[in-house]
Structure 1
């Protein structure tokens, strides 16, 4: 039986992180979500369609999408560091992201 690496080991494999919170002004449930550069990923369960503030690490920008799997560029928003403390458009709607170095 194959064992999965510990979460801390997998987190170390991420290229960067985006801090996401379910409420505005960096409150509610929050996590530092790891991503791989240029790879689309869906937000983790518990944050799907429930993000109100978010911001990537310095030196990164992320395109966040309302649709899963980074579909539909017309329903996306670019987020640069330090991020957005209180989303207007897209509040509680984003499902996926793709991040790149600035």
Structure 2
């Protein structure tokens, strides 16, 4: 099992990256992906596009994952919001399989998002 975002946050970080894994529970292929906190819509990079098992943004960021739209951009419908420490299983989150549909992400600064370790 790969380490969780909480395990990877020990060094001083500021919002601007998101920890992604291809499998639930921080397993499979994992990487810290740079995502600006500027409301900029970005494609979720391979191998995580349509295959996002777990996700954890840095503390202080709130990210929106686009899952429903068939468009090739961010959409306000059917989105999932995530803050630190993240979602351990996007393939089974709130009785939905968001991981197989995740294709775009945008993040913003969130001073009220405290997260828990």
Give the TM-score taking structure 1 as reference length.
Answer: 0.79
More off after superposition, 84-93 vs 22-31: 84-93
Query: Which whole-Å CA distance do the structure 2 matches of 1:55 and 1:16 have between them?
Result: 11
Matched pairs, number: 87
CA RMSD of aligned residues (A): 1.2
Relative to its length, the structure with more helix (as a share) is 1
SS of residue in 2 equivalent to 1:64: strand
Equivalent residue, structure 2, for 1:28: 28
Relative to its length, the structure with more strand (as a share) is 1
Structure 2 stretches of 5 or more lacking a match? 1-14, 111-117
Structure 1 stretches of 5 or more lacking a match? 1-14
Q: Is residue 78 of structure 2 the alignment partner of residue 75 of structure 1?
A: yes
| Structure 1 ranges of 4+ moved more than 2 A | none
Deviations 1:42-75 (A, max 9, x none): 011211100010010000110000243112x222
Equivalent residue, structure 2, for 1:93: 101
